[in-house]
Amino acid sequence: MLSRIAESLFWIGRYVERAEDTARILDVQLQLMLEDSSIDEDTTCRTLLSIMGVEAADDKPVTSRAVLDLLAYDVNSSASIAATLAAARESARRARETLSEPLWEAINTTWRAIPSGRFRTLRPPTVFGWVRDRAALVNGTADATMTRDEGWQFLVLGRSIERADMTARLVATAALASSGSVTAWTSTLRACGGYEAFLRTYRGLETDREAAEFLLLDRLFPRSVVHSLSRAELCLENLESGGQRAGFQNDAQRLLGRTRADLEYRALSDVVADLPAEMERLQQTCAAATEAVSRRYFAGAEATEWQGGRV
């Protein structure tokens, strides 16, 4: 497969997932601020921007309105949902000849809401639901219309790495919000679409420890960190068609596998002792794995870099 096409498909997977999970994170944080009057808006907003790799000005308070502009509506902010959807559409345009007609239409019609101004007219929580619905449409169309060839592997690889990264950010926001209260974790589970699955798994027991374990380590929940890392490893294994008898020559596979094993084989108490720091290290691993994938498979550098040095 041409490296240009492979790279475009990889970033379609990442950008669509990034837009969806940014909407999920914003939904959680804004809802928490509405429900809990004791939460300091400026501190919470600054923490959220920091987790998303965006620097906030020090000379004035940061409001939820400012956060929405930077992370949702402003197409000139590389961390925003609008910019991410535009980047997904640009990647799709580069790989247009390999995409099915329904997949191209799903991505293109999603993007058209941005230059038309319709996206800005949507307000929370409607805008977050709209982004999740459009991401589900794009992913569902890809699942239904793409052959399971190398292109598919690159798209799912991008989606899986991004999902692990963004789930880590969701976990970090929950750990920081209200000192890791059960309310924050419940909101996070709902944002991930995993609240009902969590209740069934833990038989109604709601504590921050069990919620963290579910989002990080559950092998059956598709948005958990371990499940996402395992899926990314499988994609890399499928791309290395020759197979390897000893070790791993693929740096990305080595990085992701080591991180997954470290999470799974360490005691949960060690992992949750300092969740924000653990999640930051996981995000760094995802960034390093992305660089390794780019060096091995891609000729160019298509990615839009996020503020804070993150891709």
pLDDT at 187: 82
Q: Which residue has the tokens 């799912």?
A: 156
The answer to whether residue 308 is domain-embedded is: no
Q: What is the pLDDT of residue 175?
A: 86
Residue 310 lies in a domain: no
Rg (CA), the chain: 19
Residue 305 lies in a domain: no
Tokens representing residue 17 in the block: 């997932």
Residues in the chain, pLDDT under 70: 1, 178-182, 241-249, 300-311
Check residue 60 and give its pLDDT.
86
Q: For the chain, how many structural domains are there in total?
A: 1
Give this prediction's pTM.
0.90
Give the C-alpha separation, 267 to 14, whole Å.
30
How confident is the model at residue 181, as a pLDDT?
61
Domain membership flag for residue 86 = yes
Question: Is residue 140 included in any domain, yes or no?
Answer: yes
pLDDT of residue 197: 94
Is 161 part of a structural domain of the chain? yes
What HEC string does the chain produce? CCHHHHHHHHHHHHHHHHHHHHHHHHHHHHHHHHHCCCCCHHHHHHHHHHHCCCCCCCCCCCCHHHHHHHHHHCCCCCCCHHHHHHHHHHHHHHCHHHCCHHHHHHHHHHHHCCCCCHHHHCCCCHHHHHHHHHHHHHHHHHHHHCCCCHHHHHHHHHHHHHHHHHHHHHHHHHHHHHHCCHHHHHHHHHHCCCHHHHHHHHCCCCCHHHHHHHHHHCCCCCCCHHHHHHHHHHHHHHHCCCCCCCCCCCHHHHHHHHHHHHHHHCCHHHHHCCHHHHHHHHHHHHHHHHHHHHHHHCCCCCCCCCCCCCC
Residue 12 structural domain: 3-297
pLDDT at 144: 96
* Cα→Cα distances 257→161, 213, 222, 225, 252, Å: 12, 19, 17, 12, 8
User: What is the C-alpha separation between 238 and 198, in angstroms, rounded?
Assistant: 31
Give the C-alpha separation, 209 to 271, whole Å.
Answer: 10
Q: Is residue 286 part of a domain?
A: yes
Is 306 inside any structural domain? no
pLDDT for residue 139: 97
Task: Identify the pLDDT of residue 179.
Answer: 59
Question: Which pLDDT score, from 0 to 100, does residue 38 have?
Answer: 79
